[in-house]
Amino acid sequence: MPEPRTVDRPVDLLFDARHVRQSGIGTYIRTQLAHLEEAAARHGRSLAILRDRDALPELRPGTGVILASSPAAAMYSVAEQLVWRRAFEEARPRAVWLPHYPYPLARLLPGNRRMLTYVTVHDTIHLLPASISGQGAAGRSYARVMLSADARSCRRMFTPSEATATDVKAIAPNARVMVTPIPVDDIWFAPADPGLSPVVGPYLLYVGNTKRYKNLPLMVAAFSDLAETIPHKLVIAGGGASLRTLDGRVRRLAEDNRDRIVLTGQLTFGALRALVASADLLIMPSLYEGAGLPPLEAMASRTAVLSSDIPVLRETCGDGADYFDPHDRDGLARLLRSYCADDMARSDLAARGHSHVLRRQQRICATAAADEIFTEMARSRPR
């Protein structure tokens, strides 16, 4: 393992990259890091990342590294608060950017009160009813307290979608929110090697975790209703390791269709790209999302997308997807049957998706969040 780079104190910006290996937030961190390093160099600012010892993303030579004092400290935990406190003592950052929203209590210490604080709020799922979020009353209360504290003190709260920004403002009307959509990594637009796919033959695909709000039971039930009329398998990728503990309903349905439903678990990136590119359809059945990158990655791979008809996915997918009511099992089954039987319709949908994601890429400023931080830093105090 390479030794950490020397950090000059104080550093201009400390970015928390500890969760780079996770699925959703890890994708966000990996995507932001390259743009953040580019923006820091352009603005003439020093940058350091906070990371766990066994999770070192690829960095430019000038980017400093601070090791987390408590490896693998969980999000929303007391251990995480201690990690931040010790990192602030070591780096003495002028600004800190946290890619999730638990309020850093160490900011209240006298030496940290002038530190500019930024957080990214991907979604407000932790505040939703237990039937969707899986959170008890204590967890929902903690999330609300953290979000409210951030709204009072953060210079800016970044969200990946207008829908999430609206949710944040409904909870904390005084929050200073800036919408910074996440671009799709350029690698998704490159041809994938089909030989790397772990599944052969025609299949339908879901990519993501298996938490309750992902609504997988409806997708599995709709597939089981028509499994005898189509040759496809249903592939659930990325969440197999936690499937049995997060949603027993999905486990039972999958076991009833053992020969037609494939649970891949976690995959290498090359295998995941090949799996997405070779699928006939990607299905996004969520009841709630913060933005929704898997449909965009599928569109970039020229794979047709079926999405639940919720506001945030309408915002993300635009006219590049076909939509279904996430509570209508029969409606999804009809849509699946139609597209599985019609190669031309499926090809047309894939082409629409590819055009949509290309237009979206052109509209997005990938360094918007980083530029906002460095611009505000210049206005707030002398270098």
Question: Does the N-terminal peptide bond of residue 10 adopt cis geometry, omega within 30 degrees of 0?
Answer: yes
Beta bridge partner(s), residue 204: 234, 281
Answer whether residue 117 shows pLDDT above 80: yes
Confidence label for 381 from pLDDT (cuts 50, 70 and 90): low
Coil, strand or helix at 93: coil
Alpha-carbon torsion 239, 242, 243, 247, what sign? negative
Q: What letter would DSSP give residue 188?
A: G
Question: For position 77, what pLDDT does the model report?
Answer: 86
DSSP 304-358: EEEEE--HHHHHHHGGGSEEE-TT-HHHHHHHHHHHHH-HHHHHHHHHHHHHHHH
Residue 268 in tokens:
């290498």
Average pLDDT over residues 146-173: 94
Question: For position 267, what pLDDT does the model report?
Answer: 87
What pLDDT digit, counting tens, does each position of 194-207 carry? 999 999 989 999 99
Question: For position 212, what pLDDT does the model report?
Answer: 86
Query: What are the structural domains, with CATH classification, of the chain?
Result: 13-183+364-380 (3.40.50.2000), 186-363 (3.40.50.2000)
Question: For position 254, what pLDDT does the model report?
Answer: 72
What pLDDT digit, counting tens, does each position of 307-350 carry? 999 999 999 999 999 999 999 999 999 999 999 999 999 999 99
Answer whether residue 96 shows pLDDT above 80: yes
DSSP 227-259: TTTS--EEEEES-GGGHHHH-HHHHHHHHHTTT
Answer whether residue 247 shows pLDDT above 70: no
Cβ 321 vs Cβ 307: under 8 Å: yes
Least confidently predicted of 55-69, 179-193, 272-286: 55-69
